[in-house]
Amino acid sequence: MTAVAPSRARRVAALVGRARELGIVVALALVIIPTALVNPRFVEAQGIRDLLLNASVVAVLAAGQTLVVVTRNVDLSVGSTLGLSAFLTARVFADHPDVPIVLGLLVGVGVGLVCGVVNGLLVAVGRVPSLVVTLGTLHVFRGVDFALAQGTQINASNLPDDLLDLGNGRLFGVPVLVLITLAVVAAAALYLRSYRSGRDLYAIGSNPEAAVLAGIPVPRRVFTAFLLSGTVAGLAGALWVARYGTVDAAAGTGLELQVVAAVVVGGVAIFGGSGTVVGAALGALLLGTIASCLVVLRVPAFWQQAISGALLIGAITVDRLLALRLARELRGRSDHDA
């Protein structure tokens, strides 16, 4: 109970929080510098733009996923939600070329919102582990996607030019998609940091039992987290259409693994309760950058998935080891204080 001990704990906590973001920056440097030496074009303006563009879809999804993971849940259905939203958005634009761009994008967002509501209801009301629920809805949403698509593909030629311009456009030299990604990340970060219901999400993940005793409406908050994750995935689906121009029912298959990897590598604790949206976005950037570097270094793209998986495992292992060490240190210290 001296003034020294608390401020030390505060410093340690701050250090651990910052160490992760610093670690990602270092990792980014370690990946980018050798690649840039091999191919200097990698760090020119266009190279950087591509890098950011490639990471943007996963970063958007990771922002939504962070909301879910801090509550000690997981949303595995985001890839399928993205696929379904992408296909339906493209369908709307192809069938109604005159529809305003924003309205069309809102269709995608709406599809994602519905998917999020389904997940949220099943998890929060059914009180079933989110892992199993979203493993189920992963396949259900994808199956619906395939059933609607009937094997068709929608190409850029069927889509309005305004939409494709959005996908390739720039504002002050920065791709519009990257700006949208930044906006989503900033909004999610602000929500988690500065709003009561956002802080509640951390509280729920940190100690679910105490959250109930503290009067936090736990089911409603968990529902909201899934709803937001779905909505964000829906937006990502709409952006996918704008970026790639070609959509079939398989869009975004397997993306959930990259998203979970990005979130965990970005320092969001898989046990819930801690982590930031910015960290998750940086995690997405790191994974995207590694993928881009593999291309430049002519490493077969097959390595990418293995690397994502290894990073995921590595991140949770390191987190766990750090937590164990911290706990041991705190145990030793409480003896001291007594």
Interaction with another protein in 291-310: which residues (CB under 8 A)?
300, 302-310
DSSP 148-175: HHTT--B-GGGS-HHHHHHHH-EETTEE
Site for another protein in 75-94 (CB under 8 A): 76
Q: Which is nearer to another protein, 126 or 173 (CB)?
A: 126
- Looking at 163, 164, 166, 203, which residue binds another protein (CB under 8 A)? 203
CB of 22 to another protein, least distance (A): 19
Among 47, 273, 279, 283, binds another protein (CB under 8 A): 273
Q: How far is CA 224 from the centre of its chain?
A: 16
Segment 148-187, which members bind another protein (CB under 8 A)? Answer: none
For position 195 contacting another protein by CB under 8 A, the verdict is: yes
Shortest spacing between CB 173 and another protein, in angstroms: 30
Site for another protein in 210-229 (CB under 8 A): 210-216
Distance in angstroms (rounded) separating the CA atoms of residues 246 and 138: 22
Query: Using the rule CB under 8 A, which residue among 144, 227, 232, 294 binds another protein?
Result: 144
Q: Which pair of structure tokens corresponds to residue 173?
A: 């030299």
Nearest distance, CB of residue 169 and another protein, angstroms: 30
Q: Tell me the CA distances in angstroms from 313 to 285, 303, 307, 320, one per residue in order.
A: 18, 15, 10, 11
Q: How far is the CB of 21 from another protein (least distance, A)?
A: 17
Of positions 111, 138, 159, 281, contacts another protein by CB under 8 A: 138
Q: Measured between alpha carbons, how far is 83 from 112 in angstroms, rounded to an integer?
A: 10
* Nearest alpha carbon to residue 160 among 224, 109, 218, 91: 91
Binding track, positions 47-76, relative to another protein; x by CB under 8 A: ---------------------------x-x
Helices (H), 207-302: 208-213, 218-244, 255-265, 277-296
Shortest Å distance, C-beta 330 to another protein:
4
